[in-house]
A and B are shown apart, each in its own frame.
Chain A
Amino acid sequence: MALTGVEIFKLLPKTNCKKCGHPTCLAFAMKLAQRQASLDACPDVSEDAKKVLGEASAPPVRPITLGTGDKAVKMGEETVLFRHEKKFVNPCAFAVEVKDTMSEADINKICDDVNSSEIDRVGQKLRIDAIFISNASNDAAKFEAAAKTVAAKAPAAAIILGTENAQTAEAAVKAVADRKPLLFGANDSNAEAMAGIAKANKIALGVSAKGLEALSALTEKIKGLGVEDIVMDSGAKTAKEIINNNTLIRRAAIKKNFKPLGYPVITFAQRDDVMLETLIAVACVAKYSSIVVLSSVEKWKNLALFTVRQNIYTDPQVPMQVEQKIYKIGEPTENSPLMITTNFSLTYFIVSGEVENSKVPCRLAVMDSEGLSVLTAWAAGKFTASKIAQFIKESGIENEIKHREIIIPGYVAIMSGAIEEKLPGWKVTVGPREANALPAFLKSR
């Protein structure tokens, strides 16, 4: 169980020396309890206290990095069960399966799909993160060859090597060891040999057991063999098993601080039916998997899965913002209407959606209001006549359009005079208060 601030305080020197940067030991203890400070900041803490606090302050889900370089994927470090409590920390990785029984051409094709999977969405670059190579042949040479092919053809993707055979694992791991692959497939019967390979190559080990009791025993055994970076498969296959097992794992780790299940989870979502596979992946994204293995990476499926991952892993305390600029909707001409609103993502999505519905080509000026909606931004002084005037002047829009009319949201009708004063030569028109009235408003102009 995580320690409270007062429990931590009892273990500190209680000198209030301020060397940690906090005014008192109690204040520092409170920060430690909220995981907003590190014990390293205290130079005088005793070794005993370090041991107790170190164990208690370790994140409930162990941080593990998959792959190398700037596209390496961080996993674990989660602290909550529900996203409204606090941000889900590390978005899950999507991996696509490659079998070592496939032809080289087929493997190359999947690598190409992975390499070209990157999509930019609301300022984030999203992609298929990893390739899971399964040792379907159970042959060492084929496994090694497939690993080499993937390493060469997909230079940015993280690599997961899937086999339960320690003999075939050895050469494949060695061949791509510099990519820090995850070796997946340790179980009760091969634990020693697989742990040996992971340890020798300093890589993380994926373990698999049927059920959570067996899984806890297995991770303890692996840890006892000297491997600390573990990724777990609970054997969950159906959507129901995934939601139940993953929830119990997350609860055990976070609410009970149960270390044997405090590792990232890998889930196998592959199905013959691509739509069902997509939905299984949705359940994995929403309910706590850190790696989701897929059988295919169609572009439309990627887009939907990347988007759901982005939505679920958005920080609930920071409003999603869109970039300040003048967006074109449809194909506006130099005479098309110009409207303005704030950059809260929901505001933008709803307004732009309704403008699209109207089928009237428009320009939508989206002004940075720190992610606040129209009325809130106005009340907070972030959507004011002078700021609007400055934004419009600096945007260069005056060179793009012939008219000088700007449509403002009905809720801030009160500003229309002030904007006309600050923007000489411009006419301000008051639009509807609610976005759903925009189509009628635009069509009637």
Chain B
Amino acid sequence: MAFVEPKESFAGKVYQITIGSDKTAVFGGENALPFLTVDGNYPNKPVIAFEIQDVPPTDWPDTVRKAYENVSGDPVTWAKYCQNELNAQAIALRLVGTHPDRENRTAEDAAKTVKDVLAAINVPLIILGSNNVEKDSVVLVAAAEAAKDKNCVIGKAQEANYKTIAAAAMANNHKLIAMSELDINLSKQLNILITQMGFDKERLITDPMCSALGYGLEYTYSVMERIRLAALTQNDATMQPPILADVGMYVWKVKETQAAEADVPNWGNVEQRGITWETVTAGSLMVSGAELLIMRHPEAVKAIQKFIDELN
């Protein structure tokens, strides 16, 4: 029996997205499943954004908090550190301090933070709310205006608040993250609703909701894989935006990233375990389809970059 390479080619293609206004980052654009270069083109490497936040990361576990010990007191210093010392390709600013249960910062406070951070960096900025649907619809509108024409990514628009956030992203020339909860049909539906408002589908990024290794990773993994298959094999335009994996936030709250070795000797060193947890979560989701990843620990990002180099 002679071997014939069972290559497959697809009608569909993932949209290519460029973010940033000074230094830019590009992702998406492939017409093949993740890293399957035998089938088609995979023109851009996944992009990793470093996560920072508008308030000090008092809720982050030690391992990752220590990595930013002297810079995380204010978002501008923190952003510059990520760009200049860690060579960040992009920065993701999470306005978690605006959450009513946290510092409850106002939309004006948030807008000022966005302006200050943008003035200090030249890499692309991703602006994230606190995941409180009511507050986000106010905060992200102000943030989008403050960043007008800087070609940022605004997120996350969800079913309950997408109208105001998508309108603000559209009016101020930004890209938009659409997030739904671990269901390919919900993802598709939200993308349709947003594009029906007149939002350009080529400016969308799909977030099917992340999960940490051991805490539902397989759900995110398979939803991403199915979104990619729909985009490529069915040429479904509503499934062709690039995919986001918001890794750090989900990883650095699970037990495995925090439990002391003394309490769980079988689990080994807590620092290496935490970094590995973020690395493995990110690596798995890249293999299933994520093109844009938001991560926290510099060592985890370094490992992922090496992995990306080997994949291209």
Contact = CB atoms under 8 A, between A and B. Distances in A.
Contact of A275 (B35, B215, B276): B276
Contact of B256 (A260, A303, A436, A440): A303
A83 interface: yes
B276 A252 contact: no
Interface stretch (A44-52, A65-73, A172-180, A307-315): A307-315
- The residue among A275, A286, A299 with the most chain B CB atoms within 10 A of its own CB is A275
Interface string B296-312: 00010011101100111
B50 interface: no
B35 A243 contact: yes
A349 B225 contact: no
Given A238-B310, A243-B35, A279 B280 contact: yes
Interface string A350-377: 1001001100000000000000000000
Contacts of B1: 216, 220, 258-260
A212 B219 contact: no
Nearest to B302: A275
Q: How large is the interface on B (under 10, 10 to 19, 20 to 34, 35 or more residues)?
A: 35 or more
B37 A244 contact: yes
Contacts of A287: 287
B217 A300 contact: no
B135 interface: no
B280 A308 contact: yes
B226 A212 contact: no
A423 to B, nearest CB: 31
Contacts of A252: 3, 6
A216 B283 CA distance: 30
A299 B37 contact: no
B92 to A, nearest CB: 19
Interface in A22-51: none
B310 A278 contact: no
Interface of A: 82-84, 119, 121, 212-213, 216-217, 220, 238-240, 243-244, 247-248, 251-252, 255-256, 258-261, 273, 275-276, 278-280, 282-283, 286-287, 298-305, 307-308, 310-312, 314, 316, 345-346, 349-350, 353, 356-357, 436, 439-440
- Listed from nearest, the 5 A-B pairs whose CB atoms lie closest are A299-B268, A300-B268, A300-B273, A275-B303, A239-B310
Interface of B: 1-8, 33-38, 59, 101, 131, 182, 211, 213-219, 221-222, 225-226, 229, 253-256, 265-269, 272-273, 275-277, 279-280, 283-284, 287-288, 299, 302-304, 306-307, 310-312
Given A251-B6, A350-B215, 19 more contacts: A82-B229, A239-B35, A240-B35, A243-B35, A256-B6, A260-B1, A275-B303, A279-B279, A279-B280, A279-B283, A279-B306, A279-B307, A286-B284, A299-B267, A300-B273, A304-B213, A305-B280, A311-B214, A316-B222
